[in-house]
Chain A
Amino acid sequence: MNNDNRRYTFLFIVGTICVIYIVRLFALQVATSEWKNKGSRLTEREVVVYPSRGNIFDRNGKVLVTNQTVYDLMVLPKEVLPFDTLEFCKLVNLPYEELKEILKKSTTYPNVKYKPSPVIKQMLPEEYALFAERLYKFPGFFVQARTLRTYPESLGALLLGDVGEVNKEILEKHPDYRKGDYIGLNGIEKSYEKELRGKRGIKYVYRDNLGVEHSVANGQLDSAAQEGVDLYATIDAELQKYGEQLMQNKRGCIVAIEPSTGEILALVSAPTFDPNLLVGRARGQNFSALARDPLKPLFNRATQAQYRPGSIFKLAQSLTALQLGSITKDTRIACNRGLIGCHGAHSMDDLEMAIVHSCNPYFRGVLQRVVEANRDPNNRAKDAAIGLSIWNEQIRKLGFGSNLGSDLPGMKKGNVPSAEYYNKKYGVEAWNFSTIYSIAIGEGEMLINPVQMCNLVCIIANRGFYVPPHTVRQIGRGGSARSEYVTRVDVGVKPEYFETVVNAMEKVVGPGGTANSIKLSDIVICGKTGTVQNEPREDHSVFVCFAPKENPKIALAVYVEYAGFGGTWAAPISSLMIEKYLKGGTTNKGREELIMNAKILN
């Protein structure tokens, strides 16, 4: 039998296989880009170009927050060759066990061996310098430069805020953030996150056979990083620093605002800490130490504390009662100490002198005239409820019970008791004026925070309006503040009613006044002391003021916790702050030294 035809069978088999393979090649290479894309994901790296965060300057152009370069040491496991682990550990100061753990983690899910994972985050330039020249010995390891915040003035920790890497929660809420991004966590860093953040850039690169990185598609897919916008804060660094010095070894806060603009000049919360502590690798450790501190340095007393206002609230009561027509500036009320305690020698003051003497029975009487105005003659309880609602509405116009629209994150609103509030507390019609009169003198259920307190002074200094207190006056060099911080908010109190209050405040800082000791020869300070009862502990010492009397430049609220009478600590601190701001410093070095050295921490 001739088998010659079998050559065709043989060639047919070979040909069939070749056709099958060509079809398969077509399927892999041409028909779909699935495999090609998989390849791109392997070989092309997306390099994130982190923008540098915007700088923050003070109102005079001094740098408050800027960036420093740090280096994340990364590992790309697929390129790692056997290396001298001992030398490596020594160079980067890492225990061998930890390195082993990190390397293991870098190749276990969700990390994969062809994606870089961090080995050491945030090496400082000096640490990196030691390692840089040996880096070539460790293939697969490389560094990625990043920026960290740094605070050259070491001040305003809570005011400026800190940044941290985004966590899972933030990532879920904000899809435009990615693992490894930084975000402002509080203070200005938080409220101006959008401006400061800038825009992350992405560079697509692939490595050629020489290990050199090339851009993909001539960089057409790349997006440039956009640097964050610089902010010009309203803060006066000198004043802020001075305030922090005055408040050292004390608990409390200072709020200083320029009345005409609502710009916050200083916002001190004591005790404070160096903001540089919350930067870099020591951040976690330092943070938990601060969180454990019984003096609560992480608690921003200027924005988050809610104090009973005490006597300074009498200023607000006066304005409210005048506007509601319940009293005139000439109304005299007997100092009946049987109803409520008082101090000093006076008996039948008019409004101005009642403020100067801080006469408690007088202001009890004022609130009674507001609340018990016989609007419901048959029912004292109903009458009080109606009266309190009227009072509540008017006093809220002064900014109480709201965050004032401020850009300070986490501002507490305080508590302005309303009829509903007491109904809930005591029951409907189960209370009347006698139940609630302690709010007349800023005690009882009345709660405000120090920024609101200072804002009240601004209203008085401006004779009738305020601008929401804010911390940034220019977004970008030559820019302006956010639009809500350029408009005045009218409080609905006639300008003439302020004169009585202002005059009284001037007299407080004068002969016979409770803060006579801080009177300055060249600047007229208008102020009001307060002493917030704090049974069984020592009273809080409070002082609010503005200066000068005409065309005021600065309004202040000072709170010193557990420090006793307002005139003793809070008032001198205020006057030193005023001198610092208006004259660049005080001549009363003795007072300055005394305050700075005082330790009120019991």
Chain B
Amino acid sequence: MAASGKQNLQLDWGTIALYGTLVLFGWLSIYSAAFNPLLPSPFTFSEEYGKQLVWIGACVFLIVVILYLDAEVFNKLAVYIYFFFVLLLMLVLVIGKEVNGAKAWFGIGDFGIQPSEFSKIGVGLFLSKFISSSGMQLKNLRTRIQAFAIIGLPAFLILLQPDVGSLLTFLAFILVMYREGMSGNVLIAGFASVVIGTLSIVIGAGRTTYPYFGELSSIWTFIISLFGLSILALIFVRNFVVPRSRRMLYSVVVISMVLASSLAFSINYIVDNVLEKHHKERIYVMLSLPVERQDATYNSEMAKITVGSGGFIGRGFHQGPMTQNNYVPEQWTDFIFSAVAEEWGFLGSVTVILMFFTLIYRLVLLAERQRSQFSRVYGYCVAAIIFMHLLINIGMVLGLAPIIGIPLPFFSYGGSSLMAFTILLFIMIRLDAERLSVFR
């Protein structure tokens, strides 16, 4: 079957072309952002652009290997792959190299490998296998708990590093589970939590003088307002809702009030007392709240200036004054989108965003046309992970998300990220290529 499948490989060339374009555009941006005038050759392997070429070469090799593998392999080995990366995540906590305060790297000579990037492949495969195994229903609490455990184990290990950015990308799997039948309330609750959390930080940053209690954090104003709102809601329910629904809605209002208040209070507490100072400052910078150190706003400010510097048509390749003068520190990694925005302008930036949207759209399309649920779930995993990276990374560059160091897929410099995304994507392409030979 494998042999026949290979003969009938129906590669989705559109996705492959999109992948190639993104990687090429990404490499050009790295070449521009990390350019060393003394070593202008793209094959300078001491510079980021040279190294990235090596990684791209490695990716070509990986692609060939993946396409030659039997599609069944991924399903069969999903659990082993998952635990292999879990093992690596444990190992990295012991023998890993600490970079920027996180023990996230295996150092091999000059190169570093970041297992957290690869672990998403393992989670994606295992989660797909788990959900697609017969009898699994995500409506079922037990199944949900098991699914969360699959996601939670590597996530917890990453939290220990600690690497908040990578941790956040694991939220992608919640989107996948939503597609596979988990209640949509999760998304609504998630959205509500983001709104309440943001408000509680913004309001909690101030101080208010209360009668009898003196000066306290303004978070209490927020909690009192929530309380007032729920009383209004209760009155509304009592007067305008048919009696048989009242009882249920009363409890919904009260529970929401309690949950919202405790969320607001605990987020405020975490920001003030648990988070490290620089994390707190990054959140404050994003929300345009005043910070003590001017340095804290530097990266965010420079990124915005660099983006703005591009204008409508951009400054041209190698012509961006902010990019060429390295105003954004380590621009070729997490801030690479700012280089795109400056040198290719609004047109180029929108093109990149649309390319990503097309890729995600294409992946959803691929996923939906799969006959096997395994392939479909996996397709959503790929799409959702790419989306989460896009959401956080570009949001950060544009000053809409706090500064969280995660790479922009296919663009940011870094072997682990590029290889992990390549493997992630091409497994899907490989699965898709054989969709017609798979029987339900």
Q: Which of the four size classes fits the interface of chain B?
A: 35 or more
Interface string of A20-58 (1 = CB under 8 A from B): 111011101110111110111011100000000000000
A38 to chain B, nearest CB (A): 5
Taking a contact as CB atoms under 8 Å apart, the answer to whether A4 and B394 are in contact is no
Taking a contact as CB atoms under 8 Å apart, the answer to whether A206 and B321 are in contact is yes
Taking a contact as CB atoms under 8 Å apart, the answer to whether A39 and B306 are in contact is yes
Taking a contact as CB atoms under 8 Å apart, the answer to whether A207 and B394 are in contact is no
Taking a contact as CB atoms under 8 Å apart, the answer to whether A42 and B357 are in contact is no
Taking a contact as CB atoms under 8 Å apart, the answer to whether B175 and A10 are in contact is yes
A13: chain B residues within 8 A (beta carbon): 175, 187, 387
Tell yes or no: A86 within 8 A of B by CB. Answer: no
Q: Which of A170-185 contact B (CB under 8 A)?
A: none
Knowing A28-B308, A29-B345, A30-B346, say if A7 contacts B179 (CB, 8 Å). yes
A139 to chain B, nearest CB (A): 12
A207: chain B residues within 8 A (beta carbon): 321, 324-325
Counting residue pairs across A and B whose Cβ atoms lie within 8 Å, the total is: 124
Tell yes or no: A217 within 8 A of B by CB. Answer: no
A425: chain B residues within 8 A (beta carbon): none
Knowing A7-B364, A21-B398, A29-B310, say if A39 contacts B349 (CB, 8 Å). no
B321: chain A residues within 8 A (beta carbon): 39-40, 42-44, 206-208
Question: CB < 8 Å: which of B305, B319, B367, B395 contacts A35?
Answer: B305
Knowing A1-B181, A7-B364, A20-B400, say if A29 contacts B308 (CB, 8 Å). yes
Knowing A18-B353, A20-B400, say if A211 contacts B37 (CB, 8 Å). yes
Interface string of B343-372 (1 = CB under 8 A from A): 001100110011011001100100110000
Interface string of B158-188 (1 = CB under 8 A from A): 0000000000000000010011110010010
Taking a contact as CB atoms under 8 Å apart, the answer to whether A17 and B346 are in contact is no
Taking a contact as CB atoms under 8 Å apart, the answer to whether A29 and B312 are in contact is yes
B246 to chain A, nearest CB (A): 28
Taking a contact as CB atoms under 8 Å apart, the answer to whether B307 and A28 are in contact is yes
Interface string of B278-317 (1 = CB under 8 A from A): 0000000000000000000000000011111111100000
Taking a contact as CB atoms under 8 Å apart, the answer to whether B307 and A17 are in contact is no
Taking a contact as CB atoms under 8 Å apart, the answer to whether A21 and B353 are in contact is yes
Taking a contact as CB atoms under 8 Å apart, the answer to whether B35 and A35 are in contact is no
Tell yes or no: A210 within 8 A of B by CB. Answer: yes
Q: Which of A1-20 contact B (CB under 8 A)?
A: 1, 3-4, 6-7, 9-11, 13-15, 17-18, 20
Interface string of B307-338 (1 = CB under 8 A from A): 11111100000110110110100000000000
Tell yes or no: A588 within 8 A of B by CB. Answer: no
A153 to chain B, nearest CB (A): 48
B408: chain A residues within 8 A (beta carbon): none
Instruction: Report how far A206 CA is from B357 CA in the complex, Å.
Output: 36
Knowing A28-B307, A35-B305, A39-B322, say if A17 contacts B368 (CB, 8 Å). no
Taking a contact as CB atoms under 8 Å apart, the answer to whether A35 and B309 are in contact is yes
Tell yes or no: A483 within 8 A of B by CB. Answer: no
Taking a contact as CB atoms under 8 Å apart, the answer to whether B35 and A209 are in contact is yes
Taking a contact as CB atoms under 8 Å apart, the answer to whether A26 and B346 are in contact is yes
Taking a contact as CB atoms under 8 Å apart, the answer to whether A24 and B390 are in contact is no
Counting from the closest, the 8 A-B pairs by CB-CB distance are A35-B308, A43-B321, A39-B309, A209-B324, A210-B37, A29-B346, A39-B305, A28-B308
Knowing that A3-B180, A29-B307 touch, tell me 15 more A-B residue pairs with CB under 8 angstroms: A6-B179, A18-B354, A21-B398, A24-B398, A25-B307, A25-B349, A28-B341, A30-B311, A39-B306, A42-B322, A42-B325, A44-B321, A207-B324, A209-B37, A211-B37
Which of A's residues lie within 8 Å of B, judged by CB? 1, 3-4, 6-7, 9-11, 13-15, 17-18, 20-22, 24-26, 28-30, 32-36, 38-40, 42-44, 206-211
